[in-house]
Amino acid sequence: MAETTLKLPPRGSAPPAFAGIGRAWGRLSSGFVPVLAVITALLITIPFMILTGGRGDIARGLNIAGTAYAALLEGSLGIVVNDQLSEDDLTLFYTVTAAYAGESLTQGELRQLDRAMSDLSQIDQATVLNYALLFGAFPDADGETLTDLGENVAGLRAITEPILEIMRPLIGELEAVDRGAVRELAELIVGAGELTPENQAALIALAPSATDIDSATLYEYLRIIDEYGVVRLTRFISALDALRTQNIAVDSPTLSILIALSGDDAPVDLETARGLTDTVEQLEAANIDITDVTALANQVATVRGLYENGLLTDNDVLTALNDELPTVIQNHLIVRRPGDRLIIDQENTLLGTVYNDQNTPEDATDDRVEVNYARIGASALLFFPANLESMIVRAIPFIIAGLAVALGFKAGLFNIGAEGQLYAGATLAVWVAFSPLFAAIPAIIHIPLVLIMGILGGALWGAIPGVLKAYTGAHEVIVTIMLNYIAVLIVDWLIKSTNPVILLDVSASTPRTPFIHPSAALPRFDTINPVLFIVAGVIMGALWLFTRRAEIQRDPRAAIRPILYGVLIAVGGLFLQYITVRGALHVGFIVMLLAVWFTDWFLTKTTLGFELRTVGANPDAARYAGMSVPRNIILAMALSGALAGLAGTIEVTGVQLNMQPEFFSGLGFDAIAVALLARNNIRNMIFAGLLWGTLLAGAGLMQLRADISIDLVKIIQALIIMFIAADAIIRYLWAIPKPTEKTSVSTFSKGWGG
């Protein structure tokens, strides 16, 4: 029998299955570096939330992080998962309702309870318990009496009880004489800064008890009388006597609470505080812990929302919960949203749409989609088109401006002047857009003219550093930075100038240009006939089929891609129209797609583009091959400026419809970050810009929902840029092999080399 030997793998080597996974990861992972940079940045910010919002509590910090990132998705993509309403969600409210003052809770009392619970949820537990102590000490006093007492005790504490007690005889005697004479004498003595024998004699004539008080002490008493007046001091004494009758010390914590509630900066007034105390007593009677007040407040608001939407009708709330609520939950989709909001569909289908009624239920012609939903067990997947619409609108200028920076990178130039080129292009465009000279031309001519002028303005401003670089050797980084300031300040002067008036709208309350003519505004997707999207898809599909007819004759399967492209154009256009629920998404989105396509086509399919990339990769080799390096430098900077000018023009004609000083503050510099995120890949610029728009669009909701600083988004952006620029960190953390060839990122530094 042949002897068999068992061969073991070398020590430390991975099993074959894992080795195969490792090789596959090595082949695929390099393309995921930007995505992994984003994921890593999001993960690294979680400890910030644990230390700040969570105050070191890991569980609480992770909950805040989950809430923040869910809000980021909802605020940008409009996607979120929320729970559907069930009877178990109202457990605390059932308990309170059953024990409510020993009687049935009515709709009117429900509104009062809702307000009380809302106030109670915003005040910490210790403060509410202090209110209970206060009203327990003064059970019969009304709000006005307590307010007066609080003000008097505050003054009494400022003077101090012993001094007021010593002054009691003096105040009593002065109260009996003419107040005008007392006030005049006190002002005279305090104004003199000392008590003269003549003034002391005059005072003793009014109040004989002053005889036994030395002049220095008497002067201090007169200063107090001058500050407060005899009437108020008399009230202080009355308040002191009342407190002594009830055995309450002047410095007691209860009176500190009263003083806080009597001040102008009190969190609530006295009547509200008394109502909160009564509410706490009712909760205690229902055996509900005051620490559950926030959850109870949400449940009260939910029940009130059911009444406001007509789903519950019985005036007796407990009866409505027992008899009506089960049927309501069964027959309707009711989704609980943050902020005590409800999403309600009159039907309870697996998939559905809820519309935002603009006028009346009978007139549905102008209703807009508020949310689409899909039921998932006890939860619902929600999609808010308006949020996605807003995010896309914000991302459009970043994508185009990112193209501007990336095109400069391709030529080995570091264009930091996109900010100034934005202003230059937008300024020329907005003048053509609002000038009376062009008011009569139709939109089909006016809009292209405005776009061309914006492109021209940006190109001219971008060509300046190109010429200086090509013929004088001036560094484009320095020149473009300086030109940014020049452009911003010129625009500021053009808009704010009043003598003469150049671009200023003199009728506006703030410095800005006049609004552009309607014929110059970019059309919104919701105003376009949907048939046009279908026609565009058919035409483009047919053109692609025609251009590939020879290939299709050889292999009919080659027709699949053109047909899919045509379908994608039609479906994509209809989808963009569907999400345009606020009338914000404009055809600048299509212009942006064309700009991406044109830039990619120019760089990869044309001779000029090839020369430009060659000059960027190796100017000496390009010069040896007969290419004009100066011409390509000027061309690259002009085209880069043209794209930046287009970005500014679209923002003016598609979003704001006017222009203000410092209108594009920071957009040009963010474009550098977008270009870095896309790793200088023209086609990836769309995804990079959308990511940037996602972070900006979702930042506000993150701050609101998770109660975190909006600066956290800036931290995330900074980390993303750092990880993209220093991708060795990401490669190490995610075990990504080193690139086998030089990537386009290395060309970023070309502009610094001169």
User: What does the alpha-carbon distance between residue 646 and residue 512 come to, in Å, rounded to a whole number?
Assistant: 20
User: What does the alpha-carbon distance between residue 577 and residue 571 come to, in Å, rounded to a whole number?
Assistant: 10
What is the reported pLDDT for 191? 76
What is the reported pLDDT for 746? 42
User: What does the alpha-carbon distance between residue 54 and residue 124 come to, in Å, rounded to a whole number?
Assistant: 17
Report how far apart, in Å, the C-alpha atoms of 501 and of each of 450, 586, 634 are.
22, 31, 34
Is the distance from CB of 645 to CB of 452 less than 8 angstroms? no
What is the reported pLDDT for 14? 55
DSSP 475: -
**390-524+580-753 fold:** ABC transporter involved in vitamin B12 uptake, BtuC (1.10.3470)
Residue 387 has a CB neighbour count (10 Å cut-off) of 24
Pairing relationship of beta strands 368-376 and 351-356 according to DSSP bridges: antiparallel
What is the reported pLDDT for 5? 52
Written as six digits, the tokens of 203 are 């005072």
Written as six digits, the tokens of 128 are 């509410």
Cα radius of gyration (the chain): 37
User: What does the alpha-carbon distance between residue 147 and residue 136 come to, in Å, rounded to a whole number?
Assistant: 16
What is the reported pLDDT for 534? 94
Give which of 570, 568, 563 is closest to 530, Cα–Cα.
Answer: 570
Q: What are phi and psi of 491, to 5 degrees?
A: -60, -40
What is the reported pLDDT for 744? 43
Is the distance from CB of 414 to CB of 643 less than 8 angstroms? no
Query: ∠ CA(251), CA(254), CA(260), 5° rounding?
Result: 90
**Residue 473 backbone zone (phi > 0: left; psi -120 to 50: alpha; other: beta):** left
Written as six digits, the tokens of 70 are 């869910």
pLDDT in tens, 621-675: 999 999 999 999 999 999 999 999 999 999 999 999 999 988 777 888 889 989 9
What is the reported pLDDT for 125? 67
**Residue entry with tokens 């300086």:** 482
Is the distance from CB of 643 to CB of 599 less than 8 angstroms? yes
What is the reported pLDDT for 144? 76
What is the reported pLDDT for 752? 42
Written as six digits, the tokens of 152 are 């008097």
Q: Show me where the domains of the chain are located.
A: 124-267, 301-387, 390-524+580-753, 525-579
Is the distance from CB of 526 to CB of 542 less than 8 angstroms? no
Regions of the chain short of the pLDDT cut 70: 1-20, 22-23, 26-29, 100-103, 124-125, 263-267, 286, 289-291, 357-366, 739-754
